Every structure is written in structure tokens, then in C-alpha cells.
Structure 1
Amino acid sequence: MVSSAITPKRTIAVLIGVAVIAVAAFAVVRSGVFEPETVQGAIPGPGSSSPSASASASPSATPAPEPSASPTTPEQIKAKNIADAKARLTEYYETTAQVANNGYKDWDTTLDSFYGNPRIWSSIGGVYSGLEAGGQYTTGEAGVERVEVTKYTADDAGFESVELRACVDFRDVANFSADGTELEREKGAPTRYMFDYLMRHQGPASVWTVNEQTPHPEQAC
């Protein structure tokens, strides 16, 4: 299930956000071009491989901590937004891996909520549709060495933006044709390099979206 990263409610956000949420998801941002062929597998999320709790767990086990109060100060709101944007990017890569590992089936309905820019949708649509039709699939997941914030833009209407720079490692991802033949990477193609992302919140009670992805294969990491 796709989780929603929700920005704390503010009065002005409620009044203004509703009026512009319909068009915000289609805002065109800068000039970066989404290159879906560079996205292979997914970034595993923190604790994604941890075992489930045992049904016979001791009743004396430490109880789960109570949820923290909603942030109220600008510094708290900024910190939460940055954490939510990073988490949403991780979720996007995890979901992309599931789609790719399953032969790109239902990629459109599965990934739709992650896209906040029509150029991303149109670009990835042609590539993923072709991969699905051709029966190609992947195994494995990509990994992130680090993610840093390069810019944060506050917005009283709830449409904050967070720009991230991530080092992504694709070495554990393999691509296969429909008959199971592994498709070798082009000689010299990088497997571990930098990406820039623009993540944008889509208003009160909504989600964060990927509005721009710019790969930098020339910048090894």
C-alpha cells in the first residue's frame, strides 16, 4: 500500500491548497529530463528486510513508543518535510523494483501516484510499456549510499519542495529478456553514480511526488 506523507495542517494551507491542488501535480519544473532506462530496481528501505514480530512475543517486551506530536514550528515542519520527501523517494524506488521484477506489469496504475510532472509520465510510459510488451524483467534492487538535501523551499499552501542529491548503486540489478537471457550492460556503462531529484508535496492531506529526476552518470560516487 502506498503511504501518504502528509504536511501538518495550517489554516492558510487549507484555504489556498484546495484551490490549486488540481494543477500542482502537472507543474513543469526546470529542464531536467527523466531517463527511465537508468532506473533499475529499487532503493531498499530502512528495515525492509527485518523479520516480522513473533506471535509468542513476551508480554514484558518494551511497548512501541507513542507517536510524536505534530510539528508546529517552521524548523520542525521543515525537518518533517525533508524526512517525508526522502521516505517517499525510497518508497518510489522500492515500488519501481517490484514493478520491474514483475515484468513491468501494471506499471502505470502502480506508479501513477509517484509522478508530479507530465514529462516524467510521458517519458517513462513509452519505455515501460515497451519493456512490458517485450516481456523483459529485472532481478535485484539498487541501493543508495547517501542522500543529501541541496535545497528546501517552504510554501504556506502546503506545496513545499525538497531537492535531493543521491548516490545510487545499481550493481545488484540484472536485466533479462522474456526467454530468461540476461541482458548485459553496455561496456563502460556506470553502475554507481549521482542523481538529482526534485520532490514536491501536493498540498494538505496529499503525497510527495517525483517532479524531476536528473541522472549524472559522469559523476561516479
Structure 2
Amino acid sequence: MVSSAITPKRTIAVLIGVAVIAVAAFAVVRSGVFEPETVQGAIPGPGSSSPSASASASPSATPAPEPSASPTTPEQVKAKNIADAKARLVKYYETTAQVANNSYKDWERKLVPFWGSFEIRDSMGVAYAQSLDAGQYTTGVARIESVRPTGYKAPEPDYERVNFEVCVDFSDVQTFEENGAKIERQAGVPTRYYLQYEMRHHGADRGWAIDLEERQVERAC
């Protein structure tokens, strides 16, 4: 089982610090393995000579559904959990955009609560720290175009898992060096593709967090 402790809250630090590398066909943040050259936006972008960063759900993107206030049936509980997990994922993108657009200042306090496992926290944290040290920043936001639930498990109350397939468009995100020089994307790299997420509820004190992220750059959306 993926570790559920990152202390009080898990903050989703987004990795950044990337060398110029050709885009891999499949990127994964899993069990501590991260390939930053395949990401873009608040998550570093493919084809960037440096980390790209800044992702968010725009007002025109898929809105977070309103969860049921007091579910009573198993179906209602499931629907509320999926809605709550989705809302948390959307908030994650909004927060990464705010942090990246503000030169990654205070990223740890703002982002760590979104992470549900030590593996993803450590992988993402290194990149965010590097971008902060380099003085980089971004403009624009990544747009969540669609969110589709693909799995649901409820081994016990308050520790449910939800899987999502998410289409994200990073084309509006621009990354800059501390001196204002734009970091160009490598020609031909994708800006819109699917990402797979596994969200897990970590108990009443911590709520929903991201335990797993897989970036499927080869799958345009």
C-alpha cells in the first residue's frame, strides 16, 4: 500500500528543473520514479531546457461538481467521494499555477498537503526547490479540459480510492528565467495530453490526496 503519511497534510509540490531532452512516450510519477522531460506546465514541460511550471483549472475548464451534503446510500457516498476527490484535484492545479506564477515562493507550505505518498512528494519537491533556487517563474495556467472517473474502491470508510483520466492543455503556460528570458519549448513536443491520477482519502484529518500520477504524453486529447 502506498504510504499515507506526509505529516499533517500532503502538499503537492510540482517538479521543475528539467534538461533539454526529447519527449518520452510515457511519463510516470510512481514509486519515486519521475521523468520531468515529459511534463509541462506547473509540472515541468517536455522540451523545456528548464522546468516549466504553472497549472490550473481555468474558469472555462471542467468545474468541480457540488458534492452531496449528507449522503445516506452507498451510491450517494460513492458519488460524493468522487466529487470531493475531483474538486481536490482541480484545487491542486489552481494552487500549482499560483505558486509557479509567483516564482515558486512558499511552494512547500502551499503544495505539500496535496500529496498522499512520500514517493510523489519527494519526486515533485526536488523540482520545485530547484525552480525556486533558479528564480524561475511562469505565466498562464494549464486548462483541465475533462475529468473522467475510471475506478473506485472502498476498502473501508474514510480510506476510499478514486482513479481519474484527465485531459490537460498546457499550451498557455510560458516559463521564464529569473532575468525574464523565455524558456522555449522544444519543437514538436505535445502541449495537450492525458494524465492518470489515483486519489486516496487519508482520513478525516487529511482528506483527499494524490497517491499516483501517470502522464501519457503519447495520448493526445
Output the TM-score relative to the length of structure 2: 0.74
Aligned counterparts of 1:31 and 1:122: Cα–Cα separation in 2 = 10
Query: Where do residues 35-50 of structure 1 align in structure 2 (5 Å cutoff)?
Result: 35=35, 37-38=39-40, 39=43, 40-44=53-57, 46=59
Instruction: Give the match for residue 130 of structure 1.
Output: 130
List runs of 5+ in structure 2 lacking aligned partners: 7-28, 44-52, 62-66
Whole-angstrom CA distance in 2 between matches of 1:69 and 1:32: 36
Q: Which runs of structure 2 are paired with 1:152-163 in the superposition (5 Å)? A: 152-163=152-163
> What does residue 23 of structure 2 align with?
none
Paired with 2:118 and 2:168, the residues of 1 have a C-alpha distance of: 24
CA distance in structure 2 between the aligned counterparts of 1:82 and 1:33, rounded to whole angstroms:
27
Instruction: Please identify runs of 4+ aligned residues in structure 1 that moved more than 3 A.
Output: 29-38, 45-48
Change (3 A) 1:69 1:111: closer
Equivalent residue for 2:4, pick from 20, 24, 48: 24
The question of whether the paired residues in 2 share the 8 Å contact of 1:35 and 1:215 is answered with no
Distance change in 2, residues 1:32/1:144 (3 Å): farther
How far off its partner does 1:46 sit?
4.9
- 1:151-198 deviations in whole A, cap 9, x for unaligned? 000132311000000000001100000001110011211100000001
Q: 1:32 to 1:118 in 2, by over 3 A?
A: closer
* 1:42 maps to amino acid: A
C-alpha separation in 2, matches of 1:32 and 1:128? 15
Counting aligned pairs with the same residue, the percent is 52
Q: 1:151 to 1:206 in 2, by over 3 A?
A: same
Match of 1:173 in 2: 173
Tell me what 2:21 maps to: none
Larger radius of gyration: 1
Q: Which amino acid aligns with 2:5?
A: A
> Which whole-Å CA distance do the structure 2 matches of 1:151 and 1:157 have between them?
16
Instruction: Name the residue aligned to 2:139.
Output: 139
How far apart are the structure 2 equivalents of 1:47 and 1:103? 25
Shift of 1:73: 0.8
Deviates more, 1:150-159 or 1:34-43: 34-43
- 1:15 corresponds in structure 2 to none
Kindly provide the CA deviation profile for residues 46-94 of structure 1, in whole angstroms up to 9, marking residues without a partner as x: 589xxxxxxxxxxxxxxxxxx9641011000000000001100000010
Matching residue's letter, 1:146: S
Q: Is the 8 A contact 1:148 1:166 kept in 2?
A: yes
Query: What is the distance in 2 between the residues matched to 1:72 and 1:30?
Result: 35
Distance in 2 between the 1:100 and 1:125 partners? 13
Q: 3-state SS of the aligned residue for 2:189?
A: coil
- Is the alpha carbon distance of 1:34 and 1:152 closer, same or farther for their aligned partners in structure 2, counting shifts above 3 Å? farther
The structure whose residues are more often helix, as a share, is 1
* Distance verdict in 2 for CA 1:96–1:25, change over 3 Å: same
Give the whole-Å Cα distance in 2 for the aligned partners of 1:47 and 1:41.
17
